[in-house]
Structure 1
């Protein structure tokens, strides 16, 4: 069943994510041209409004999904996005626009909802690959959306585009309603075993949330300032800086559609530390680079490290996922990632103000080194007392 459901969920998530991920780069244009906001410092605050609200709401919606159904929760998230986009498109002032972003955060969360739903129709390696494809869907939207909306904005005002794009999450909801089956009925002999494992699994989920936080913090730290930093450092055009910005996400997609995605390397216990090491190295290369070619090399290494980390984290997530509490689990992971993004954005701004635009790169490198330490802790804690390194648990 998962093979037929996966394309439906991926397509619906991609359609819904286009607006949610593609419009924030244009917040500055909306605030200055539509609402006559003069101070650009407000752009950063508007950028994190939906992220904070999602971080707050995701655990709640996860518990609701476990109780009332993951398909229902996915439909709720898509309809919630549509409502938020309509409010944003019709907002008469900046306060109403901010409220629309709050609605988007509180009622959205399509990534966690889609992942939880997939856990009801896929297990083990199939779930790992499904989560990898979900990340591919998000990164495709991240690459395509700014280009697509930048093109549309030559004819349509930026704010009004929200109103027209509200049809996209509604289309996503229709796809899920018509083509995705309801949650299968849970229960069975395995549930008692899962209940007995719940206590030890909760500690593993806590460590996994810490890893998600560390990785996402390191990933997002350089996002807000990368393009202006690249232009200042190398004199590149905005188009070239945008290409360099998107390159790691393109590397992820290339590996995802190649046979490499099934490599046994991604199931190795040291996959995540290796990926984080590449990630930290990429930041050092970029922070010390003085030419476009050097930054290009750093972004290529970053793409390899990011892909390795995400594949490893998805494999660990699939290993720990239990259907009976999948909504709560994915909601907690989504919340951890969102809080990491908020913290990274705030600290990157502080670091830039205290130093320069290279500071977020060093901040990302330091955060990655701390996360490597967590991976060692996670690996050791999975061994049984007296178990030798390298032996797998039965």
Structure 2
């Protein structure tokens, strides 16, 4: 990717700044993404011998993050996006330190609540980028941010598992608090983006072809996308074991990671193909998710599971990239902090709804239920997508 591809014309805010923001999100999200799968090991040490609260505590940061995201976004527009991004990183560090040294279930729960309220680094990072960039440059930056999230989701659990032989997962919260602290120090050297944006903003001309969904439609699509994809996460390992008894944990982990690896390998290429037709790409993405998840319900061999995971990865990549393009388009002329904060609310709401539906469906119908529910949701969204409001300015 060239420097110009991630820079507003004439701006000092370029590729190095975008990569710095994405890199800081990657390192700061390690504990947030890598440690929750180990709650069943952490909670017995805090008095919950059967880890009965693991499912509830898994979504506590997400719930409180959703509630806080719109407020933090509006405060960023008022007081400065860099300042609020630094606040998010420092807030994570405080929450991780408290979680790492908690000596009771109540204290640990408070730490997770604070992680949700004080964190929000993804929305804060996107709001920061939205103030500095627009159009294709912003959509590419958002695509890179999603790549950072996918990479952390793949790498963090592996690193945490490797460290578990030397340090308990709970104490790793305290150790990993150094990462958001380091990220805050790095981000302190970046410019306040608002001054760059005001100086370099280009007026949108009639010659630019800009497909746009309404903001409410974007929120609905974000919720539906997150719901239909995240619902398959919690019980995938159980589904693999049900279909392929005796599968090693390492192989199960690879199967879990395959869709995210697809994104890392192909996202920028998909962006170049669909940046001018995100609505088509999004429809294909939801269709791929629907078919991939439906395939999980019938796949009974390792090659079949690999194939449906790759199909899900193709849908995941198309959906994430095209949602980034639509979000960048909706950000034009809007306060980016408030918009991306609200978008994060609907994203996290979709994740919480997916967790509840996955738990209920799995208990009632077995480990295949979550993927079938997610597939049905994706198919319904793909069907309804043509009815969503679309405004298009055609170049003449």
Q: Using structure 2 for the length normalisation, give the TM-score.
A: 0.90
Relative to 1, partners in 2 of residues 1:39 and 1:270: Cα closer, same or farther, differing over 3 Å?
same
Matched, 1:290 2:290: no
Offset at 1:36? 3.3
Please tell me whether the aligned partners of residues 2 and 118 of structure 1 are also in contact (alpha carbons under 8 angstroms): no
Equivalent runs, 1:227-306 vs 2, <5 Å: 227-235=237-245, 236-256=247-267, 260-268=269-277, 269-306=279-316
Please tell me whether the aligned partners of residues 271 and 309 of structure 1 are also in contact (alpha carbons under 8 angstroms): yes
Offset at 1:262? 4.5
Q: String of CA shifts for 1:129-161, please: whole Å, max 9, x gaps.
A: 100000000111110001101111100122111
How many residues are matched? 375
Distance between the aligned counterparts of 2:165 and 2:366, measured in 1? 33
- Moved beyond 6 Å, runs of 4+: 188-193
User: Greater helix percent: which structure?
Assistant: 1
SS of equivalent residue, structure 2 residue 222: helix
Offset at 1:256? 3.1
Matched, 1:27 2:39: yes
Structure 2: gaps of 5 or more residues: 1-12, 205-211
User: Corresponding residue for 1:309?
Assistant: 319
Offset at 1:383? 4.2
Matched, 1:5 2:14: no
Matched, 1:204 2:214: yes
Offset at 1:2? 2.6
Equivalent runs, 1:26-175 vs 2, <5 Å: 26-32=38-44, 34-175=45-186
Q: String of CA shifts for 1:8-28, please: whole Å, max 9, x gaps.
A: 101111110111111111111
Distance between the aligned counterparts of 1:23 and 1:104, measured in 2? 13
Offset at 1:188? 8.2
Q: Aligned Cα RMSD in Å?
A: 2.1
Offset at 1:263? 2.9
Offset at 1:231? 1.0
Distance between the aligned counterparts of 1:272 and 1:80, measured in 2? 34
Distance between the aligned counterparts of 1:189 and 1:86, measured in 2? 40
Offset at 1:392? 3.2
Of 14, 18, 39, the residue aligned with 2:30 is 18
Distance between the aligned counterparts of 2:192 and 2:274, measured in 1? 35
User: Corresponding residue for 2:6?
Assistant: none
Of 346, 360, 363, the residue aligned with 1:336 is 346
SS of equivalent residue, structure 2 residue 335: helix
Distance between the aligned counterparts of 2:394 and 2:334, measured in 1? 26
SS of equivalent residue, structure 2 residue 299: coil
User: Corresponding residue for 2:5?
Assistant: none
Offset at 1:267? 2.8
Distance between the aligned counterparts of 1:80 and 1:285, measured in 2? 41
Please tell me whether the aligned partners of residues 271 and 322 of structure 2 are also in contact (alpha carbons under 8 angstroms): no
SS of equivalent residue, structure 1 residue 357: coil
Q: String of CA shifts for 1:37-88, please: whole Å, max 9, x gaps.
A: 1333311101000000001000000100110111111100000000000110
Structure 1: gaps of 5 or more residues: 194-200, 385-390
User: Corresponding residue for 1:382?
Assistant: 390
